[in-house]
Amino acid sequence: MLEKAYLTRKDDTSVKVSFLFNPKELSVEKSNQFAEIQIPGLSSSIFQFVRGNARSVTMDLFFDSYEEGEDVRKYTDQITGWDAGSMYSKLPEEKKGLMDIDSDLHAPPVCLFIWGSFIFQCIIERVSKKFTMFLPEGIPVRATLNVTLKEYREVDVQVKELDLHSADITKRWLVKEGDSLWSIAAKEYGNPSDWRLIAKANNIENPRVLTPGQELIIPEKENL
């Protein structure tokens, strides 16, 4: 069975933007920043590590609503929010796109890009939208979005990973309605992709099936 990729809010997984078509390819970029230090008398500079830069994932998303004869912005606005170049948005007034500013957060929400077992906690950094087909009355029915996602990791999680001598304490998690392995991993480890650690520790074969009231062991990541 073909699994469709989708975007969702980390803090509210009921908000789900499913893709009409899976991306044909993903580009993943990771870089480090170094300071170049010139030392008199040496034949070349030396480099001192300054910081690591967040990973980024770039992809093209294709949307086509021609067969249905409906405005393709019904789908694209769910990601980009209201299209300032159009006469109206295709989103209901009470809904916002994933790039819109949340009134409670005062910022766009942190998202999860999920495609099968690949889970990427991120913010949507940039989207370039291109409409390529229109109905006679000018309504767009085909679009390609070039999307750049930037990895998001909480400060306290990064600081904890620097502490290589943290105590060996096994935590436990009581599953409640709406929990998923990747949402639990995001809260405990700061990275939803670490859901496999929890699945392995609890002998879970189907990561999509959790029972409310179920108790899970949350192993220490550093000791695995």
CA–CA distance, 23 with 166 (Å, rounded to integer): 40
Which amino acid, residue 203? N
If asked whether residues 134 and 26 sit together in one domain, one would say yes
If asked whether residues 136 and 208 sit together in one domain, one would say no
- Spatial contact of 6 and 16, defined as CB atoms under 8 Å apart: yes
CA–CA distance, 28 with 125 (Å, rounded to integer): 14
If asked whether residues 143 and 65 sit together in one domain, one would say yes
218 in a structural domain: yes
40 in a structural domain: yes
Cα 118 to Cα 7, 25, 87, 115, 197: the distances in Å are 12, 13, 37, 5, 14
If asked whether residues 107 and 81 sit together in one domain, one would say yes
Full-prediction pTM beyond 0.85? Answer: no
If asked whether residues 62 and 112 sit together in one domain, one would say yes
pLDDT score, position 165: 44
pLDDT tens-digit readout, 137-185: 988 999 999 999 999 988 776 766 665 444 455 688 888 888 889 889 8
Of the chain, the percentage scoring pLDDT greater than 70 comes to: 86
Length of the chain: 224
Domain that residue 131 falls in: 6-151
Q: Can you give the CATH number for the domain in which 203 is found? A: 3.10.350.10
CA–CA distance, 64 with 71 (Å, rounded to integer): 9
Query: Which of 3 and 143 is assigned the larger pLDDT?
Result: 143
159 in a structural domain: no
If asked whether residues 61 and 127 sit together in one domain, one would say yes
40: confidence class by pLDDT, cuts 50, 70, 90: confident
How many structural domains comprise the chain? 2
49 in a structural domain: yes
If asked whether residues 208 and 102 sit together in one domain, one would say no
Q: Which tokens belong to 131?
A: 């409409």
If asked whether residues 26 and 55 sit together in one domain, one would say yes
156 in a structural domain: no
What three-state secondary structure class fits 201? helix
Q: Can you give the CATH number for the domain in which 34 is found? A: 2.40.30.200
